[in-house]
Amino acid sequence: MHLSLRHYYHGMLCYSSVATYILYTTPLHSSVLMPMGVTTDVSSSYIMETVQVSHRLVHLDLKGAPPRMSYYEQMFPIISSFGATGLLVEYEDMFPYQDCLAHLRAPRAYSPEDIAKLRTLATTHNLTFIPLVQTFGHFEFVLKHDEHRSIREIEHYPNALCPTHPDSFPLVTKLITQVIELHPNDKYLHIGADEVWHLGKCPRCHNQMETNKNTPADFFLEWVFKVAWWVKTQHPHLTLIMWDDMIRNASLDTLKESSIGDVVEPMVWQYQSTKFDLPQDLFIKYSAVFKGIWGASAFKGSSGSTQFLPPIQHHINNNLNWISILSEHKSQINNFRGICLTGWQRYDHYAVLCELLPVALPCLCLCLRVMSKGSFTEDDHDYISQQLGFSHRINVMPFPRPQIVDSSATFPGHKVYVGVQMWSNFVCKYQAISNSEAMLGWFSDYLRSRNFTNPVQVENILTQVIEVEENMKDLRTHLIPWLLEVLYEDTVEEWVGSFIDPLLSKLKSVVDECRKQILIGGRVRDYTSIN
């Protein structure tokens, strides 16, 4: 969800070639902070009353662009040093399911040895490990398979399972059992349960709701309680967590009558950068029902399903808003466990990839600093920038593009960070050409279809398009090996095939058409033969 891309940056259009990186950001220790939303007065606007957030989890969404194990080895010590205390690992089809569930595994799924290594790395860096298993909504990775199509709530939609189908509960318990077996002695398990958009839609569910006079909230809570109760019975040492959005508007009486508070704790997710959209009595209600409450902010993956670069200021403000909310409601919350900084990699199993983890690592580190200190100051900005190897302050306002790319950083995956920044500039340049007066006024689809173009204008368009095409081809050559240092081949193929190659194909078509029109040479309308 990019902003308008035809803008000037500090009075000049800035494009970076692959061979030359030019730096322009605010120097470290400058008295002027990079733009911070609506104000740059850090002392008055960005220092909140200190709130202790004991758990600071980093969400790893593995349903897209799962990193190589070598990247975790480099990343974990960094996030731990900036205040992370744990990981929320959403495996989806990257988990090495076995036996009757083996078909759920992605071709490049982690092995049991990988899982063991991942957990060992987490322990080494004092990171609590919390696996996440979806058990109701966002069940696409299971329901896409023909073997499980019968347990869809709506036959044509793979989003949610049917809670009344006799095969649903055994399947979910098998999923959970296999995950727990590879996570011995872990203290927490997240059971998902967010965005269950289809409730009571199949005839069996509808009839049961009618017979029992259930509301959608009742029906939802009944299934979640059933799953959570089973887990607690089998594994009483586990504290269970669930996303809260489906129960957010349930009444206090409904929550109490369901006994949901005996088996699970809610994680309240809210990703806005300004006012949160939460019921006024939410924390009072949850504190009266649940033994603990969690929150969830975001460091990437919440500002658009096709986003390349995280809007860092937006995410800093989102995390600062959480600090403000916790301070405002601290007397209403009996036991706030901590915050999870979410980093969605796809909006669902079928969506394209959004911001890649290495591209968002600076944003994550800045947001961890916010959650660790309860504030964000110029000194914090300088400190994180220095620690990640930047010679200038991290640019927290990556839009509008184009912007000059700072290539000085040394953090793990910094080459991917640089490459995607440059890619975004080239996309901007392409869009600027596509929306230029020359393109719209002298090279429209209609004019080309009638072979009625002015070579003076077309030659100018061709020069610009060839420059962008060559830059993109050059970047593609460099970016693929940079991506392969961090990600697996199938992810690199997907990212390049989703974003770079389609644009190169469009550019080639424009180049070919320009050359054709130049060869025609400014003839009468509908000219058909070339001597």
Q: Are 384 and 365 in contact (CB under 8 A)?
A: yes
Instruction: From residue 230, give the alpha-carbon distance in Å to each of 131, 194, 266, 414.
Output: 17, 19, 18, 44
Q: Residue 466 is encoded by which pair of tokens?
A: 């060839």
Catalytic pick among 90, 140, 153, 195:
195
Spatial neighbors of 497 by CB under 8 A, at least 6 apart, are: none
- Beta 86-90 vs 336-343: how paired, if at all? unpaired
Contact 22/10 with Cβ under 8 angstroms?
no
SS3 content of the chain, % helix, strand, coil (to 5): 45, 10, 40
Phi, psi of 188 (to 5 degrees): -135, 155
- CA nearest to 48, candidates 283, 297, 312, 322: 322
Gap between the Cα atoms of 79 and 490, Å rounded? 26
DSSP output for 470-502: HHHHHHHHHHHHHHHTTB-HHHHHHHIIIIIHH
Q: Note whether 132 and 90 are within 8 A (CB).
A: yes
Q: Establish whether 181 is a catalytic residue.
A: no
* Helix H or strand E segment including 61: strand 55-61
3-class SS string, 63-117: CCCCECHHHHHHHHHHHHHCCCCEEEEECHHHCCCCHHHHHHCCCCCCCHHHHHH
Cα–Cα distance, 149 to 161 (Å, whole number): 9
Q: Show which residues are catalytic.
A: 195
